Structure 1
Amino acid sequence: MTRLKKFVSLAMAAMISTAIFAGCSSDKNQVTINVFNWGEYIDEDILEDFTKETGIKVNYETFATNEEMYEKVKAGTTTYDLIVPSDYMLERMIKEDLVQDINFSNLPNFKNIDEKYKNQAHDPENKYSVPYMWGTIGIIYDKTKITDNIDSWNALWDSKYKNDIFMSDDMRNSIGISLKRLGYSLNSTNEDELNKATEELIKQRNDLNAVYIGDQVKDALRSGEKNIAVIYSGDAFVLKEEEPDRFEYVIPKEGTNLWFDVWAIPKTAKHKEEAEKFLNYLLDAEVNKKNVDYIGYATPNKATFEMLDEEVKNDKAAYPDEEILQKSEVYIDLGDFRKLYNDAWLKITSR
């Protein structure tokens, strides 16, 4: 009996040891993909769900502007498997050979993307990107504090809102708004037009004390730091859902930026196939709906859109009328003229 107990004990120890080492080996061989996305732009529960389903871990980092993301990818100090550039930035990264073709045979759920969101100007052959979300930029205001009927970008230069304005801490957004207000294209490459738009932003900042802010805008508005702000449509949708009697979102009558954010795979990605599995997972109608419900942005996923409540489908903050879209513009890459925008932005933001 003693020998039998000893034998059983040794056998069990061996089994436990094998299990431990097998577990270590499994952990060691587990693939981790590096994902670089905008702040507050995914339901992070989805990352955990994906890992549970596939065994692929997700190392998730965020950025605040396209330019920040671009500089990190170009520098190559961190190797990302997936990034989320906006339209014009993807166009630039394609030109600079920073992204690679996607193998769409690994993305059967790509069939869920509405045809009208495919083959856009920033990726005309749809080789390099998967549409993620789309939307507009507009003005949100606390209608319990501001009783005016705001319908123009001019409101952001109205002296009655001194010390009460948040502008977008994004070069293309704020310069684009100033250009659009003056009747110019937000993709202008006319130096005189850019100079006039720059002067107006400097004047606004000096005379009205406009404050530039990024992803923190929702919390700042919730707490009442200021009562009027430039904001992305999805963020506006979230705030309106939370407090419908408090917040109002408008797309100014002059028109605005119609933007598209996309998933892309950098040339330096180490786990392309696993990244494509993640993209296919996100394109699942149910998974995408969970994400849309969380972040509030408009989806290009037709299967998901059909699952949304009628109230959401008809909300003009998320899905604006065609009349507004016709007045709006998609950002394009500015090429060499980009340097003049960078110089203008330094003048605007440094004081």
Structure 2
Amino acid sequence: MKKLTNIIISLTIALSICIGLIGCSTSNVTQNNNSPMSNNKERETYKETLKVYNAAEYIDETTIADFEKEFKVKVEYAEFESNEDMYSEVVSDPNAYDVLVPSDYTIDRLIKEGRLARLESTKIPNIANVSSEYLKPQYDPNNEYVVPYMVGTLGILYNKKMVSSPIDSWTSLFDSKYNGKILMWDSQRDVLGATLKMLGFSVNSNNADELSQVQSKLIAQRQIIQGYGEEEIRDKMIADEGAIALMYSGEAKTAIDQNPNLKYVIPKEGSNKWVDGFVIMKNTKHLEAAHNFINFMCRPNIAVRNMTNTGYTSPISGAWAEFNNNKIMFPTKEELDRCEAFLYDASATPKYNDLWTIIR
């Protein structure tokens, strides 16, 4: 019996060893299949990886897939909620991204701080598709650093069923009769700029007394607003959960397309007209791919797709006919003449930051 037991034990041990060896062999085969073969396939599909950083919900992502397919370049695409968030990230890690899509005042800052690569114009021939009115901005008069991507305005979106009369002034955002029904887009320069305009000042004011007046207005406003937010305030307006909101033109168009009771207005006091653009980080190791990406996005058919998806206006004039002169996408000259662009001022920025900390 003891001998039989020993035989059984020996057979059991042998069987265990065999199973273990088979398991190790299987494991090694799996690792080999998932590592070199997979990596080789990846290398065959994509020549390199391009990292693009854009604002949230600001592109038709199928256009990125088409770029990848045509140029054999993998795009790692990430989104930011505000220019301030984006700036902080790229300053802390200048190698994190290759292509950015900031707003004009942040582009202005990045240029002045020497963080951007100069563009090679011969590699972006499709810049010829950009309407001349959006080229040569004050901060980049020769378009050495930026190619315009989207343009628009800052204004008020309101629900016609929930207001007593048509809205035409920034003062409505501070009117207590809309207590609990006011929504504010959570963006420093936009909130401060709208309030400055309401008070009759420039959106780029650096005057201590004027900024003090803005602070008083916005602190008092906190008692009557429903809250600050980003895309969720657009969704609240669509759902009739707010009466008035500070909003960008593209978000407003998207909302109106889903709720015909909504209306967008550029207030009579004036506002911000902006141009967001493609720029390339100075330290990029993918300069060719970055230029190809920007040039690809300047094709009229690609611009149409991005306009359709986002509700914003591309500066590519060949894309405009598709949108039947939509009044939100294409403001009148009179409306634009009372607007101004945000600019970067190194001495004003700390004041804006301090003011924003107090308000928020």
Please say if 1:217 is aligned against 2:233: yes
Deviation at 1:148, TM superposition (A): 1.6
Classify the secondary structure of the residue corresponding to 2:79: strand
Give the match for residue 317 of structure 2. 302
Q: Secondary structure at the match of 1:35?
A: strand
Give how far 1:78 is off. Answer: 5.3
SS of residue paired to 2:347: helix
1:148 aligns with 2:162: no
Distance 1:38 1:332 in 2: 19
| 1:18-29 correspondence runs (5 A) | 24-28=39-43
Corresponding residue of 1:271: 286
Distance 2:298 2:278 in 1: 11
The Cα of 1:108 is off from its aligned counterpart by: 1.8
1:107-138 deviations in whole A, cap 9, x for unaligned?
A: 12111111121111121110001100111011
Deviation at 1:26, TM superposition (A): 4.6
Asked if the contact 1:80/1:268 (under 8 Å) is kept, the reply is: no
Aligned to 2:4: none
Q: Offset of 1:199 from its aligned partner?
A: 0.7
Q: CA deviation at 1:268?
A: 2.1
Corresponding residue for residue 341 of structure 1: 352
Kindly tell me the number of residue pairs found equivalent between the two proteins. Answer: 326
Please tell me whether residue 65 in structure 1 is matched to residue 82 in structure 2: yes
1:128 counterpart residue number = 145
Q: List aligned pairs for 1:61-210, cutoff 5 A.
A: 61-76=78-93, 79-206=96-223, 208-210=224-226
Q: TM-score, normalised by structure 2?
A: 0.87
- Distance (whole Å) between structure 1 residues aligned to residue 174 and residue 334 of structure 2: 25
Q: Secondary structure at the match of 1:189?
A: coil
Counterparts of 1:58 and 1:324 in 2: how far apart (Å)? 38
Distance 1:69 1:286 in 2: 28
Alignment partner of 1:216: what SS?
A: helix
1:56 Cα deviation after fit: 1.0
Give the structure with higher Rg (CA). Answer: 2
CA distance, structure 1, for counterparts of residue 275 and residue 255 of structure 2:
21
In 2, the alpha carbon distance for the partners of 1:34 and 1:217 equals 29
> What is the aligned partner in structure 2 of residue 261 from structure 1?
276
Task: State the 1:35 CA deviation.
Answer: 0.6
Deviations 1:182-224 (A, max 9, x none): 1111111110000001110000112x13411123222222233
SS of the equivalent of 1:52 reads helix
For 2:42 and 2:146, locate their aligned partners in 1 and report how far apart those are by CA, in whole Å.
Answer: 31
The separation in 2 between residues aligned to 1:221 and 1:109, in whole angstroms, is 37
Aligned counterparts of 2:343 and 2:52: Cα–Cα separation in 1: 24
In structure 1, distance between residues paired with 2:202 and 2:344:
13
Report percent identity of matched pairs: 37
Q: Distance in 2 between matches of 1:210 and 1:193?
A: 26
> Where do 5+ consecutive residues of structure 1 fail to align?
1-16
- Take 2:95 and 2:143, find their aligned partners in 1: how far apart are those partners? 26
Please give the residue correspondences for 1:222-237 in structure 2 after superposition, counting only pairs within 5 Å: 222-237=238-253
In structure 2, the partner of 1:4 is: none
Question: 1:64–1:215: 8 Å Cα contact kept in structure 2?
Answer: no
Q: Tell me, in whole angstroms, the C-alpha distance in 2 between the residues paired with 1:220 and 1:278.
A: 34
Cα distance in 1 for residues equivalent to 2:174 and 2:127: 43
- Contact 1:135–1:232, Cα closer than 8 Å, also in 2: yes
Aligned twin of 1:285: 300
Asked if structure 2 preserves the Cα contact closer than 8 Å seen for 1:112 and 1:285, the reply is yes
Unaligned stretches of 5+ residues in structure 2: 1-31
Aligned residue number for residue 318 of structure 1: 329
Say yes or no: does 1:242 pair with 2:258: yes
TM, length-normalised to structure 1: 0.89
- Partner Cα distance (1:161, 1:253) in 2: 20
SS in structure 2 at match of 1:308 = helix
Q: Give, as a single letter, the amino acid of the residue that structure 2 aligns with 1:143.
A: K
Q: CA deviation at 1:334?
A: 1.8
Moved over 3 A (4+): 20-24
